[in-house]
Amino acid sequence: MNEENKFLGNEKISKLLLKFSIPCILSLLISSLYNIVDQIFIGNSEIGYLGNAATTIVFPITIISVAFAWCLGDGNAAFLSLCQGRKNTKDADKAIGNSILISFVISILFVILGFIFMDKLLYLFGASEASIGLARDYFTIILSAIPIYMLANTVNSIIRADGSPTYSMVSTLIGAILNIILDPIFIFVFKMGIKGAAWATILGQFVSFIVSFIYFFRSKTFKLSLDSFKINFSIFGNVIKLGVSTFITQMSIVVISLICNIMLAKYGAISKYGSDIPIAVIGICMKVFTIVINIVVGIILGAQPILGYNFGAKKYNRVRKTFKIVMLLTFLVGIVSTIIFEVFPELVIKLFGTEDGLYMEFAVKTFRIFLMFVTFTCCIKVISIFFQAVGEPIKATIVSLARDIILFVPLVIILPKYFGVEGPLYAAPIADFFAIIVSTILVVIFFKRISKEENMKKTNTTVQKSKEGFIITISREHGSQGKYIGKLVAEKLGIPYYYKEMTAIAAQESGLDREFVSKINQSNNIMHDLYLTTSPVQYAIDAQNKAIRMIADQGACVLVGRAADYVLQDYKNLIKIFIYASKDYRVKNIMEMYNDSEKDAIKNVEKSDKNRASYYKIISGKTWGDVNNYNLCIDSSVGKEKTADIICEFVKSFF
């Protein structure tokens, strides 16, 4: 971490963005091809807009399968990062094996339920008597390949997390290119119509899966065995917790598509356009919109490591500068897109077929209204990912849900009552307008907060050379006086003592801010696990662990807290101590030390212990305070001096 990431705090930001963002943009655009190529060829075939209506109906149903696949894949990616920090390949192997197995089981259930309830699902998502046949033909083939599709998406996230993003991109690219080649052959040469488009899609997915599967024979940080596929609910539960935000995001797309299709079909049926034209058009509009969004998402994803490192280092000027550059690029992409959609919508629409009359009339209207504030939409997506990058998952969720669920969905339901089939079109710009206000307020509050923060005075803490002997780590319950006892033990044994010095050394060696490193184990919110996997926190954890090992390499010492017992588990001269005491005793100590009321002291004890337990679990995968993790557990209520003496005698007994 020390040297390989310091360039993120020193290199020119524009140069860093070019390095990181371009591959992200290309990867996302490639994945978009699967969603848009079929509609271009189908729209230009003899089945025309009815074929596009059919694919629009099927699309959100397949997104449900993607939601599960990405939940498992992204959850695994985050869990793999944690396991790499713990040097725990065994848990990583089990997590990946479990996720692949569960993904396959879910996909089989999805196929079974899909065939049983096929027509009900298709009608629910907007099929009409005119489009149900085409939708059924397309969905039957796509549904048959769902296991391959889900496994490919699950595995791709794991490959990226294993340090091979290029390989992941190539596997997707190969499938997309094959889809592009086969689409016109199957649709126009073999006259297979919408079935040809479906076959082209699943063959591309199959090849992508094969390429991804081959990677498992050359993986970098994990190796699967039959044992990896034995279900471990504890490990799998951690994967689900880390991937749930991705699942929610994808399911919100399903909800949006479902509600939008239902309302367009309902009010379209009583309009001059009918139900199929609005659904076909909104499908095209959404796919084009996705291309624009993927460009700006690629930019901000590339900026994530830059933002994460510099936020952790409290180089707030670089955070501001990176954010400004990203927002400027986002604004430019949004403005160019807006000009195209408002001034030249016909050029885009005709890529998907040359239907005229009512179709073109509604399509032009849709592009001009629905994408009116596409610049705002782009900014909202970027701000949401920005908050993830700087360790603010709750703000990221608020920004994302404000636009898509809280505002857009109710508006889609309400507005058609007053504006008919055009109502859902106006829902998007209105939702964008109010969501950008919410997003802007949160951004202003965030930057005002960090502007008020002052860096702690830098201290040139040095690692002290020590004599040979035992490295003593002390974990303790809050209020048990563990840090004071640790200091007494160090003095009695004549060896160095480290408490806050560990975070100071970590900050000094890594370039991160000392206060930021110090507070990473104090977060206590509903997304605590997700917070600990964000880039800035991972940088801090890596720096801290390296500092702990650096200290231990110098000889005998006492280390208090920071899961040092786990970080140094491979050291043969390690003695692990856990200090505890009754809650009443600890509350009394807190009241005396901090002049707290009894109520506040109880709250502080409970909160601190919960934070320490959660942090220890994330870092080590083990249970904080479990007697099996320590060489000695001791009740400090006998007194600080006596406790220190007992520990010293225990240590000497090892000689």
Report DSSP letters for 43-89, one per residue: HTSTTHHHHHHHHHHHHHHHHHHHHHHHHHHHHHHHHHHHHHHHT-H
- Going by pLDDT thresholds of 50, 70 and 90, the confidence category of residue 242 is confident
Least confident of 202-216, 221-235, 389-403, 597-611: 389-403
Residues 440, 495 share a domain? no
Same domain for 338 and 414?
yes
Q: CA-CA distance, 291 to 279, in Å (whole number)?
A: 19
Mean pLDDT lowest among 2-16, 50-64, 94-108 = 2-16
User: Averaged over 125-135, what is the pLDDT?
Assistant: 93
Alpha helices in 269-315 (DSSP H): 276-312
* Whether the predicted pLDDT of 507 surpasses 60: yes
Q: Is residue 381 part of a domain?
A: yes
Q: How confident is the model at residue 464 (pLDDT cuts 50, 70, 90)?
A: confident
The 471-476 sheet, strands edge to edge: 497-498, 557-560, 471-476, 574-580, 632-635
Report the number of distinct structural domains present in the chain: 2
- 290: which residues sit within 8 A by CB, 6+ positions away? 32, 35, 36
Out of 427, 453, 479, a domain closes at 453
Q: Are residues 306 and 368 in the same domain?
A: yes
The amino acid that residue 368 corresponds to is R
- Rounded Cα–Cα distance for residues 106 and 121 (Å): 18
Task: Using the predicted structure, report yes or no on whether residue 525 has a pLDDT greater than 60.
Answer: no
Q: Where are the alpha helices (DSSP H) in 117-162?
A: 118-124, 132-144, 146-161
- The first and second tokens of residue 514, run together, are 């000392």
Residue 139 lies in a domain: no
pLDDT digits (tens, 9 = 90+) for 383-414: 988 887 787 878 888 888 898 889 999 999 99
Q: Which domain holds residue 303?
A: 13-22+276-453
Report the mean per-residue pLDDT for the chain. Answer: 87
Structural domain contains residue 315 = yes
Instruction: End-to-end CA distance of the chain: give it in Å, rounded.
Output: 35
Q: What is the mean pLDDT of residues 465-476?
A: 88
Shared domain check, 494 and 354 = no
Could you tell me the CATH number of the domain that includes residue 563?
A: 3.40.50.300
The alpha carbons of the chain give a radius of gyration, in whole angstroms, of: 28
Q: pLDDT-based confidence at 306, cuts 50/70/90? A: confident
pLDDT at 338: 96
Judge if 482 and 449 occupy the same domain.
no
What mean pLDDT do residues 75-80 have?
79
Q: Are residues 480 and 425 in the same domain?
A: no
Is it the case that residue 4 has pLDDT exceeding 50? no
Clarify whether residues 355 and 442 are in a common domain. yes
Q: Look at residue 348 and tell me if it is in a domain.
A: yes
Q: Is 526 exposed, middle or buried (0-12, 13-18, 19+ CB in 10 A)?
A: exposed
Q: Which comes out higher in pLDDT, residue 326 or 616?
A: 326
Residue 131 lies in a domain: no
CB 476 within 8 A of CB 585: no
- Whether 308 and 542 have beta carbons less than 8 Å apart is answered as no
Specify if 491 maps to a domain. Answer: yes
550 shares a domain with 581: yes
Quote the pLDDT of residue 593. Answer: 84
Q: Quote the pTM value.
A: 0.72
Residues 323 and 380 in one domain: yes
Q: Report the percentage of the chain scoring pLDDT > 90.
A: 48
Asked whether residue 631 falls in the same domain as residue 600, the answer is: yes
Please indicate, yes or no, if residue 293 is contained in any of the structural domains.
Answer: yes
How many CB atoms neighbour CB 423 within 10 A?
Answer: 19
pLDDT reported for residue 452 = 67
Task: Give the SS3 label for residue 378.
Answer: helix
Bigger pLDDT: 183 or 37? 183
Identify which of 268, 304, 249, 241 has the alpha carbon closest to the alpha carbon of residue 526: 241
Which of the four pLDDT bands, split at 50, 70 and 90, describes residue 5?
low
Q: Which of 209-213, 220-224, 362-366 has the lowest mean pLDDT?
A: 220-224
Q: Would you state the pLDDT for residue 533?
A: 64
566/448 same-domain check: no
* 484 and 392 share one domain: no
3-state secondary structure of 635: strand
120 is a domain residue: no
In order of 46, 468, 652, the CA distances from 494 in angstroms are 87, 12, 13
